[in-house]
Structure 1
Amino acid sequence: MAVLVGDGVLGAASILSLPISPEGQDTITAVANFKKISAEDKAACPSLVITSVESGAQGLDLFRESASNAMKYEALWTEAGVGHINKWLRSNVLSRTEQGTTKAPVRNLIESVLRNAGAALQAAEYRDMKLSVEGGPSPLTVARLNQALAEWAQDAHEELQQQLEIAFVGEAWRQMNWWKLFWRVDDVGMLSSEMVARRFLPEAEKRLIFLAGRLQEAGVAGITAGGDKSVTYSGPAVPPLFPEGERVVATTSTETTTLETKGTWPAHIPFTRNYLQAETVPALQAMAQKLVLQSSTLAGATTALGGMSWLSGFGVYECGAIAALGIALSLRGLQTRWERARDFWEGEVREEGRKAIRATEASFAELLDSVSPEVPEDVALELEELKETKSALKRAEKALARLK
Structure 2
Amino acid sequence: MPPRWGAAVPRLSRRVTGRAREGCGRASKTRSASTQVAPTAIHLRPDIASPRKELHDALAALGGVAQHHANRRRLQLALEGVAARDAVTRVAVLGLTSQASAQRLTRLLLADALGAEERWEQELAGAGAGSESAVLLKYGDDADADPPHAASPLFRVRAVPARLLRCHNLEILVAPLDATAAAPESPHEAVHVPRLLPVHKTLVFAEGLDSALAFARFTPHGAAALRRVAKLAVDLPPPSSEQEPGAQDGAAAVNTQAAAQALAAFRASIQNATAYERGWFRSGLPALSSWLVQGLGPATPIQPVLKTLVSSVVDDIEASVAREDAAQSQKLAALPSAQGASASIVRHLETWAEKSHAELRDQLDTAFTTRNWHKLAWWKLFWRVDDVTMISTQILERRWLTSAEKSSIFLAGRMNQAGFPDEVQPGPTVDKPATTAENTRMDISTDVRKSIPWPEHIAAARTDLINDLVPPLQALAQRLVLQTFSTTSLSSAASALLYLTMSNFSVFEASAVGVLGLTISLRRMQKLWEGARESWEGTVREEGRRTLKGTEEAVRMVIRNKERLDAGLVAGEDEGVVERRRVREAVGKVREALERIDQKKDV
Report the TM-score when normalising by structure 1: 0.50
What CA distance in whole angstroms lies between the structure 2 residues aligned with 1:291 and 1:340? 13
1:298 to 479, 484, 487: 487
What CA distance in whole angstroms lies between the structure 2 residues aligned with 1:299 and 1:202? 43
Matched, 1:260 2:260: no
Matched, 1:208 2:408: yes
How far 1:238 moved relative to its partner?
Answer: 7.7
Give the alignment's Cα RMSD to 1 decimal: 2.4
SS at the partner of 1:216? helix
> Is the 2:492–2:513 contact (alpha carbons within 8 Å) kept by the matching residues of 1?
yes
Query: What is the identity, as a one-letter code, of the residue corresponding to 1:153?
Result: A
SS at the partner of 1:219? coil
SS at the partner of 1:166? helix
How far 1:237 moved relative to its partner?
Answer: 4.0
How far 1:262 moved relative to its partner?
Answer: 2.3
Query: What is the identity, as a one-letter code, of the residue corresponding to 1:276?
Result: L
> Is the 2:430–2:461 contact (alpha carbons within 8 Å) kept by the matching residues of 1?
no
> Is the 1:288–1:338 contact (alpha carbons within 8 Å) kept by the matching residues of 2?
yes
Change (3 A) 1:168 1:238: closer
Deviations 1:158-179 (A, max 9, x none): 0000000011001111000000
Query: What is the identity, as a one-letter code, of the residue corresponding to 1:340?
Result: G
How far 1:197 moved relative to its partner?
Answer: 0.5
How far 1:141 moved relative to its partner?
Answer: 1.5
User: 1:147 matched to which residue of 2?
Assistant: 347
> Is the 1:310–1:316 contact (alpha carbons within 8 Å) kept by the matching residues of 2?
yes
Change (3 A) 1:139 1:232: same
User: 2:523 matched to which residue of 1?
Assistant: 332
SS at the partner of 1:169? coil
What CA distance in whole angstroms lies between the structure 2 residues aligned with 1:332 and 1:362? 45
What CA distance in whole angstroms lies between the structure 1 residues aligned with 2:403 and 2:431? 25
Runs of 4+ in 1 over 3 A off after TM superposition: 233-239
SS at the partner of 1:359? helix
1:138 to 338, 348, 351: 338
SS at the partner of 1:267? helix
What CA distance in whole angstroms lies between the structure 1 residues aligned with 2:491 and 2:467? 37
Change (3 A) 1:262 1:372: same
Q: Please show how residues 4-403 of structure 1 align to structure 2 within 5 Å.
A: 138-221=338-421, 231-233=422-424, 234-237=427-430, 258-263=448-453, 265-312=454-501, 313=503, 314-372=505-563
> Is the 2:484–2:521 contact (alpha carbons within 8 Å) kept by the matching residues of 1?
yes
What CA distance in whole angstroms lies between the structure 1 residues aligned with 2:406 and 2:429? 18
Deviations 1:80-120 (A, max 9, x none): xxxxxxxxxxxxxxxxxxxxxxxxxxxxxxxxxxxxxxxxx
SS at the partner of 2:455? coil
SS at the partner of 1:220? coil
What CA distance in whole angstroms lies between the structure 2 residues aligned with 1:213 and 1:361? 15
How far 1:140 moved relative to its partner?
Answer: 1.5
How far 1:370 moved relative to its partner?
Answer: 1.6
Query: What is the identity, as a one-letter code, of the residue corresponding to 1:193?
Result: T
User: 2:120 matched to which residue of 1?
Assistant: none
Query: What is the identity, as a one-letter code, of the residue corresponding to 2:509?
Result: E
How far 1:138 moved relative to its partner?
Answer: 2.2
Deviations 1:293-352 (A, max 9, x none): 111111111111111111022111111111111101111011000000000111110111
Change (3 A) 1:137 1:208: farther
Unaligned runs of 5+ in 2: 1-335, 433-446, 565-603
Query: What is the identity, as a one-letter code, of the residue corresponding to 1:207?
Result: S
Deviations 1:187-237 (A, max 9, x none): 11111111110001000000000000010111223xxxxxxxxx3244444
What CA distance in whole angstroms lies between the structure 1 residues aligned with 2:544 and 2:384? 27
Change (3 A) 1:195 1:258: closer
What CA distance in whole angstroms lies between the structure 2 residues aligned with 1:236 and 1:190? 29
Query: Which entry has the higher C-alpha Rg, 1 or 2?
Result: 1
What CA distance in whole angstroms lies between the structure 2 residues aligned with 1:182 and 1:258? 36
> Is the 2:428–2:451 contact (alpha carbons within 8 Å) kept by the matching residues of 1?
yes
Query: What is the identity, as a one-letter code, of the residue corresponding to 1:295?
Result: T
What CA distance in whole angstroms lies between the structure 2 residues aligned with 1:326 and 1:342? 24
SS at the partner of 1:266? helix
More helix by share: 1
What CA distance in whole angstroms lies between the structure 2 residues aligned with 1:180 and 1:273? 27
> Is the 1:235–1:268 contact (alpha carbons within 8 Å) kept by the matching residues of 2?
no
What CA distance in whole angstroms lies between the structure 2 residues aligned with 1:262 and 1:302? 55
> Is the 1:236–1:267 contact (alpha carbons within 8 Å) kept by the matching residues of 2?
no
> Is the 1:178–1:339 contact (alpha carbons within 8 Å) kept by the matching residues of 2?
yes
User: 1:245 matched to which residue of 2?
Assistant: none
User: 1:394 matched to which residue of 2?
Assistant: none
Query: What is the identity, as a one-letter code, of the residue corresponding to 2:405?
Result: E
User: 1:402 matched to which residue of 2?
Assistant: none
What CA distance in whole angstroms lies between the structure 1 residues aligned with 2:532 and 2:423? 38
What CA distance in whole angstroms lies between the structure 1 residues aligned with 2:429 and 2:377? 34
What CA distance in whole angstroms lies between the structure 1 residues aligned with 2:451 and 2:338? 29
Unaligned runs of 5+ in 1: 1-135, 222-230, 240-256, 374-404
Structure having greater relative contact order (Cα 8 Å, sep ≥ 6): 1
> Is the 2:364–2:399 contact (alpha carbons within 8 Å) kept by the matching residues of 1?
yes
How far 1:137 moved relative to its partner?
Answer: 5.9
Query: What is the identity, as a one-letter code, of the residue corresponding to 2:370?
Result: G
